[in-house]
């Protein structure tokens, strides 16, 4: 059985004092979760959040990282920096990184390999634009993104990869893929993994849905057979809402 993972992607939100307050409220609400719980925060919040989640079931994640170990990459963070800050998970290939910061399938692959080599768990984001869906190329595009991102990733390393299906048209828009649409694309991703790594790997990999999952729609989405969790944006900034989603994953 695949263990569901609910991860919050805070994006560019919460100062350290606000982060401390949010996670302090979250800790008692999710302490009995049967799923894995991750909060992916801005780097300035790592220290504050690490202090609060010590000894709890909540894990710390980062929102991005560079593929180089060090160098003249102003504003970037390396895997070693993340690990020493207590980070266990890192989101890579998020559509906002692709859209606003020029990341490509190839640079996402470099980041994935560097993160895995450093012992981090990767939350790999894939997903289509609205035009892609309207043109009927969602399946091909998502399969291609998955294949390129996982180039030269071994079957052993794949055990530390979670894939998040994030339809770009549903991120921060309030629009959500229907439960059936989400499950269909997650199944395409699982089929792609099967072609690359075999049936056992495909059955074992956790595939999240991300794209305006919230307290109201989480239960329906998480009940789908190929949806193993969620990468949560706005709803992760409110402890009660995030806890409802964690509870849905626990029951789902």
What are the catalytic residues? 94, 166
What DSSP string runs through 120-135?
A: -EEEEEE---HHHHHT
CB 239 within 8 A of CB 10: no
Q: What is the H or E stretch that residue 38 is in?
A: strand 36-40
* Residue 101 CB partners (closer than 8 Å, separation 6+): none
**Positive or negative: CA dihedral 158, 159, 160, 161:** positive
Backbone torsions φ then ψ of 90, nearest 5 degrees: -145, 130
What secondary structure does DSSP assign to 151-206, as a single string? TT--HHHHTTEEEEE--GGGSSSS----HHHHHHHHHHHHHHHHHHH-HHHHHH-E
Q: Which two tokens stand for residue 93?
A: 């290939």
């Amino acid at each position: 059985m695949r263990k569901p993972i609910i991860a919050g992607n805070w994006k560019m939100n919460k100062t350290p004092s606000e982060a401390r307050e949010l996670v302090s409220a979250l800790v008692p609400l999710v302490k009995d979760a049967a799923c894995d719980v991750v909060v992916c925060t801005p780097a300035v919040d790592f220290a504050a959040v690490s202090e609060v989640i010590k000894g709890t079931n909540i894990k710390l994640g980062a929102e991005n990282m560079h593929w180089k170990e060090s160098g003249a990459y102003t504003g970037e963070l390396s895997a070693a920096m993340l690990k020493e800050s207590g980070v266990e998970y890192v989101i890579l290939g998020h559509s906002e990184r692709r859209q606003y910061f020029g990341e490509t399938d190839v640079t996402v692959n470099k980041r994935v390999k560097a993160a895995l080599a450093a012992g981090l768990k990767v939350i790999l984001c894939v997903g289509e634009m609205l035009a892609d869906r309207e043109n009927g190329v969602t399946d091909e595009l998502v399969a291609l993104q998955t294949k390129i991102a996982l180039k030269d990733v071994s079957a052993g390393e794949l055990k530390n990869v979670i894939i998040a299906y994030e339809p770009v048209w549903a991120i921060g828009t309030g629009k959500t893929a229907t439960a059936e649409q989400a499950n269909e694309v997650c199944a395409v991703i699982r089929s792609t993994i099967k072609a690359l790594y075999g049936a056992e790997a495909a059955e074992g990999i956790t595939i999240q849905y991300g794209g305006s999952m919230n307290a109201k729609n989480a239960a329906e989405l998480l009940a789908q057979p190929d949806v193993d969790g969620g990468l949560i944006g706005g709803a992760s900034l409110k402890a009660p809402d995030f806890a409802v989603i964690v509870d849905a994953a626990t029951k789902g």
